[in-house]
Structure 1
Amino acid sequence: MTFAHFLITVGQLLLGSLFVWAGLNHFGPGGAKVAAMLSARGVPMPREALYAASVFELICGACLMLGVAVAPAALGLALFTIVASVVLVNFWDQPEGELREALKGVFASNAAIVGGLLIAAAEAM
């Protein structure tokens, strides 16, 4: 194993684990809060939408971690992250202040995660 291959493997493990952890968390107490946020944003059947998205996160995250179907999993998670960011991290709708600044940081972090996912997809092609 080359050092580059080692770095790719570690990167995929870290990216995948983020989505596996998030997906699992949505089936616990944290899920109620996210479902309420989805409902407030007008998402139909918010609990069901959350569960479907969480299963998607779990499967694609596990694929990244295991090195299976990496390109489609990474591209799917990139699209998922963009949609989730637009729906849930709407800093542009917030008044100036701490919440808006915090959400800007989350949005920027999500953009960086999308970048990492695109790199993972390109590397796997």
Structure 2
Amino acid sequence: MDIVFLIGRILLAAIFAFSALGHLTQAEGMGQYAASKGIPAAKAGVLASGVLALLGAISIIFGIWIDVGALLLVVFLAPVSLLMHTFWKETDPQLKQTEMIQFNKNLAIMGGALILFYFVNVTQSVPLGLTGPLFGAF
């Protein structure tokens, strides 16, 4: 069953690894889009969020303080969801639906990340990981 946990970690983190690459390599364009949504210091925010997503993905994939990685993903997703996927502000039905789907997807992933955080701290183990949970050390 350890391999199932590893595959789940890779699948969960893959979207963040790819997203981070986009944030870090296309920061200019993504920053312009974020600015159009009213985000201050948009390019810096894109770069910072890219670093958060990358660190969280690496942590979860390799099993290095997976609990910290899971929290990093929540810290990445919460402001992105509230600031970038504002479906409640949209008047165009298609755009409203697209933003709602993205918002809801982020909520589900945040829930999964919090479950992962809980699981590794309760069990105090990370199957096929390089370290145990950080918070379990206290």
Structure 2 length normalisation: TM-score? 0.80
CA distance, structure 2, for counterparts of residue 116 and residue 8 of structure 1: 13
RMSD: 1.5
What is the match of residue 66 of structure 1? 62
Residues 1:6 and 2:17 are matched in the alignment: no
CA distance, structure 2, for counterparts of residue 43 and residue 109 of structure 1: 21
**Aligned amino acid, residue 96 of structure 2:** R
What is the match of residue 42 of structure 1? 38
- Segment of structure 1 superposing worse, 6-15 or 34-43: 34-43
CA distance, structure 1, for counterparts of residue 44 and residue 76 of structure 2: 16
Residues 1:22 and 2:19 are matched in the alignment: yes
Unaligned runs of 5+ in 1: none
Q: CA deviation at 1:96?
A: 4.5
**Preserved CA contact (<8 Å) 1:37 1:88:** no
CA distance, structure 2, for counterparts of residue 102 and residue 42 of structure 1: 19
Change (3 A) 1:84 1:70: same
Matched ranges for 1:89-108 at <5 A: 89-108=85-104
Deviating above 6 A after TM superposition, structure 1's stretches of 4 or more consecutive aligned residues are none
Describe the superposition over 1:75-110 as per-residue Cα deviations: whole angstroms up to 9, x where unpaired.
121132111110100000001411101111111111
* Identical positions, percent: 23
SS of the equivalent of 2:24 reads coil
What is the match of residue 124 of structure 1? 120
CA distance, structure 2, for counterparts of residue 44 and residue 106 of structure 1: 21
**Aligned amino acid, residue 78 of structure 1:** V
SS of the equivalent of 1:27 reads helix
**Aligned amino acid, residue 47 of structure 1:** K
Unaligned runs of 5+ in 2: 122-138
The total of aligned residue pairs comes to 121
CA distance, structure 2, for counterparts of residue 56 and residue 11 of structure 1: 20
